[in-house]
């Protein structure tokens, strides 16, 4: 029920050319906002659980593994190695 109402509010905001926050503030009481937030959080948790369960058996190769399978020129390899080293530095 909450998800359907939120979808209607999104549609209303789009039609009026205003933000969703404006429509929510105008159309919902603070108690309704709290209930909607709880319902949306529960829905997101459930969705995340389903995605995590689905992805648990999926093996995703690393970027290095994908790139090692691609034919590349020497210039491309130098560029890719520079990009990979930038990612490693940014991750530190």
Token pair in block for residue 75: 């210039």
The whole-angstrom separation of Cα 11 and Cα 18 is 10
Count the Cβ atoms, other than its own, within 10 Å of residue 58: 6
Token pair in block for residue 80: 């890719």
Domain boundaries, the chain: 2-55, 60-92
pLDDT at 49: 94
Residue 28 DSSP SS3:
coil
The whole-angstrom separation of Cα 77 and Cα 14 is 46
Q: What is the pTM of this model?
A: 0.53
pLDDT in tens, the chain (92 residues): 888 999 999 999 999 999 999 999 999 999 999 999 999 999 999 999 999 998 888 888 887 887 777 766 667 777 777 777 765 544 54
* Phi, then psi, of 85 in degrees rounded to 5: -70, -35
């Amino acid at each position: 029920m909450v998800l359907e109402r939120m979808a209607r509010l999104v549609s209303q905001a789009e039609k009026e050319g205003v933000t969703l926050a404006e429509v929510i503030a105008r159309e919902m009481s603070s108690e309704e906002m709290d209930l909607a937030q709880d319902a949306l959080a529960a829905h997101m948790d459930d969705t995340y659980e389903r995605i995590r369960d689905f992805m648990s058996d999926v093996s995703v190769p690393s970027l290095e593994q994908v790139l090692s399978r691609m034919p590349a020129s020497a210039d491309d390899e130098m560029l890719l190695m520079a990009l990979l080293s930038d990612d490693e530095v940014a991750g530190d």
